[in-house]
């Protein structure tokens, strides 16, 4: 996910997801922080890079929020984000979604079964 200020984005995601995102500066001019994930699995990163800036149309991704996405949504405002969609049931067999705007202006979706 693009970040205009990586440290700010890392602080936001560390607060709402209650986990650490160590910053990796081993790529010249392209600092990034990896999202924690289990191997094998899909991962991602926060990145500060001139060619990968937050866009006016914003990025739209969905994160697996574990068993219940509500605790993450509950931390969004205090971390500097905005709730776009409260926890909403899709269907009983699919679960719930919610959306927020992060500290960088990206819109992020969350999914959970409960």
- Alpha-carbon distances, residue 106 vs 16, 38, 113 (angstroms): 15, 24, 23
| pLDDT tops 60 at residue 30 | yes
**Cα(44)–Cα(21) distance, rounded to whole angstroms?**
11
pLDDT, tens only, 39-61: 766 567 888 877 667 666 666 67
Specify the pLDDT at position 6: 92
For residue 75, give the H/E element and its range. helix 70-79
Q: Region 65-92: what's the mean pLDDT?
A: 94
- Alpha-carbon distances, residue 3 vs 15, 29, 75, 105 (angstroms): 16, 13, 19, 9
**Cα(75)–Cα(12) distance, rounded to whole angstroms?**
9
Specify the pLDDT at position 51: 64
**Cα(77)–Cα(31) distance, rounded to whole angstroms?**
26
Structure tokens at 53: 């800036």
For residue 63, give the H/E element and its range. strand 60-64
- Average confidence score pLDDT of the chain: 85
Percentage, residues of the chain above pLDDT 70? 88
Specify the pLDDT at position 2: 84
């Amino acid at each position: 996910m693009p970040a205009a200020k990586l440290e700010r984005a890392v602080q936001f995601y560390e607060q709402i997801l209650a986990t650490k995102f160590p910053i990796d500066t081993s790529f010249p001019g392209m600092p990034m922080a990896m999202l924690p994930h289990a191997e094998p699995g899909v991962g991602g990163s926060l990145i500060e890079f001139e060619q990968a800036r937050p866009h006016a149309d914003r990025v739209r991704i969905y994160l697996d929020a574990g068993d219940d996405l509500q605790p993450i949504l509950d931390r969004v405002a205090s971390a500097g984000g905005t709730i776009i969609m409260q926890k909403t049931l899709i269907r009983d067999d699919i679960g719930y979604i919610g959306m927020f705007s992060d500290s960088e202006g990206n819109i992020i979706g969350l999914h959970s079964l409960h």
